[in-house]
Structure 1
Amino acid sequence: MNITIYTVGKIKEKFYRQAIEEYEKRLGRYCKLKIVEVSDEKTPDHASDTETRQIKDKEGERLLRQIKDGTYLIALAIQGKKLDSVAFSEKIASLGLHGTSDIGFVIGGSLGLSDAVINRADYLLSFSYMTFPHQLMRVILLEQVYRAYRIMSNEPYHK
């Protein structure tokens, strides 16, 4: 299975990079993982609704250019479906059983995802009603993907 995480912005904090590297290493035995970063737009303080939409649209265009045709795209969006870890694992396993070999997860920038990206997504997934920094969300997503593979493999993982 190929897992690609499409994300806006680079990770600046060392502790996030270290966590990401650890989960990349752990996931290596379960799937082929790739992280694709696109540049973020500078957001002015007190951006208008129009400016916010334009920023999300520019970031969205960059993301969409990176996503291959045939990729099953899961967008992380607050309005998405909330799954527990077992259901998330079952979702990934089911995609594989039905012939999906490329799964992409998309994480928006600080303003979220454009409508175009949301519309391209095959599935909307939410981890919480809360908003998380997109850098932290990358770590959380990788941890949950790793947990999903451990569950699929009937391997122990802390609860």
Structure 2
Amino acid sequence: MPAWVEAGVAEYRKRLPAEINFEIKELPLPKRGKNTDIRRAISQEGDAMKAAIPSGDHVVALDVLGKGVSTESLSESLRRWQMDGDNISILVGGPDGLSESCLAIARQKWSLSAMTLPHPLVRVIFAEQLYRAWTILNNHPYHR
């Protein structure tokens, strides 16, 4: 990832309290050529993602066809997850999206935007929104 992405994510990770462990597990994308079977590639990426999800995690898939989520609803979800003691895995697909098997295990499917966002930007946006959601729960002035 470009340095600006790492710096942006690091900034919001630093701001979050210790009880919110924001970790990114980057999975290597298999090489693709012009003759790559896209369906097979998506399936293989999905298998790798599912293998990386810790057992018992609440899975949320970021998908263009998912439900639009506001900062306030993310804040409410964060509150609920903290109260329930849930660990969360947020899935971001490869260049062709998430596999059907990943979408099937997701308890929720969210869309960050109706626009297609580049993966580096998704990382920074989600980190900032997670921090913003936490500030709402804690009456911190950042959200205003």
Matched, 1:39 2:28: yes
| TM-score normalised by length of structure 2 | 0.91
Is this contact kept in 2: 1:75–1:107, CA < 8 A? yes
| Percent pairwise identity | 32
From 63, 73, 90, the equivalent of 2:76 is 90
Is this contact kept in 1: 2:63–2:109, CA < 8 A? yes
| C-alpha distance after superposition, 1:107-156 (max 9, x if no partner) | 11111111111111110010111101112111111111111101111111
Per-residue deviation, 1:78: 0.8
Per-residue deviation, 1:95: 2.6
Equivalent residue pairs, number:
144
Q: Secondary structure at the match of 2:94?
A: coil
Aligned pairs for 1:39-78 within 5 A: 39-45=28-34, 51-78=37-64
CA distance in 2, matches of 1:110, 1:148: 27
Is this contact kept in 1: 2:132–2:143, CA < 8 A? no
Q: Which residue of 1 aligns with 2:11?
A: 22
Matched, 1:149 2:134: yes
CA distance in 1, matches of 2:138, 2:110: 22
Per-residue deviation, 1:158: 4.6
CA distance in 2, matches of 1:143, 1:58: 30
Q: Which residue of 2 aligns with 1:131?
A: 116
Name stretches of at least 5 consecutive residues in structure 1 with no aligned partner. Answer: 1-10
From 95, 108, 133, the equivalent of 1:110 is 95
Opposite residue 104 of structure 2, the aligned amino acid is N
Per-residue deviation, 1:25: 1.2
Is this contact kept in 2: 1:16–1:139, CA < 8 A? yes
Matched, 1:121 2:106: yes
More deviation in 24-33 or 132-141?
24-33
